[in-house]
Chains A and B, each alone.
Chain A
Amino acid sequence: SAVISQKPSRDICQRGTSLTIQCQVDSQVTMMFWYRQQPGQSLTLIATANQGSEATYESGFVIDKFPISRPNLTFSTLTVSNMSPEDSSIYLCSVEDWASGDGETQYFGPGTRLLVL
């Protein structure tokens, strides 16, 4: 399975600022996704990061708040903009590689724990 890393692993930010989270995969993958896990909650899909085009956002999430880039098949960034305490969550990227033997399986990175004061 792909090895996924995220930077930073955690951060404490002031409200009104922005934070960019990086997701790096050790091999080319078909699909990359960004999820949010609010405290004590389950995971919710924010968007699908599309290589070379705009991300596809889920209901309730917008590009102005969560701009996403995916310049190639191994890297993606998620920015949390104009942060408020409600954005305090764990942000996780995940990947699927349809070219591999287990293409339906989604593998997750270690997550970025964000606290907004």
Chain B
Amino acid sequence: SQQGEEDPQALSIQEGENATMNCSYKTSINNLQWYRQNSGRGLVHLILIRSNEREKHSGRLRVTLDTSKKSSSLLITASRAADTASYFCATQNSGGSNYKLTFGKGTLLTVNP
């Protein structure tokens, strides 16, 4: 089954505004990780949140996790043009091959100067 469905698929905002991206998944997880990808290049790891955590912060990033709803959100505050990228969530499932990352389809964020 597919994990990590993000919405929206695309988001366009003005510099200085906040951007919120959501991710839903289907099975039990050990953790959920958010990545950024600029123009089809490599992935940059942003933040990892474990299944027993509800919220994490890193600089202008805030991630929440609601395991009862099987959903997560990534908030980027005070966005900058340099934040323009695709953002992916990825889950590591509990049990079995629990190292495997299953990626969502991603959200393309455009921050207009």
Contacts and interface: CB of A to CB of B under 8 A. Distances in A.
Interface stretch (B12-20, B38-46, B61-69): B38-46
B85 interface: no
A14 B10 CA distance: 34
Nearest to A96: B99
A108 B40 CA distance: 13
Contacts of B35: 108
A31 B90 CA distance: 17
Nearest to B43: A108
Interface string A78-117: 0000000000001010101000001011111111010000
A48 B47 CA distance: 23
B45 A1 contact: yes
B41 A110 contact: yes
Contact of B100 (A1, A45, A108): A45
A43 to B, nearest CB: 4
A94 B30 CA distance: 18
A13 to B, nearest CB: 18
A42 B103 contact: yes
Interface residues of A, number: 25
B70 interface: no
Interface in A1-59: 1, 31, 33, 37, 41-45, 48, 58
Nearest to A4: B42
Given A42-B105, A42-B106, A96-B99, A107 B48 contact: no
B33 A111 contact: no
B88 interface: yes
A72 B48 CA distance: 27
A111 B103 contact: no
B11 interface: no
Given A92-B43, A108-B43, A31 B99 contact: yes
Contacts of B50: 104
B42 A43 contact: no
Given A42-B103, A42-B104, A108-B43, A102 B88 contact: no
Given A31-B99, A92-B42, 6 more contacts: A43-B90, A45-B101, A104-B31, A104-B50, A108-B43, A111-B40
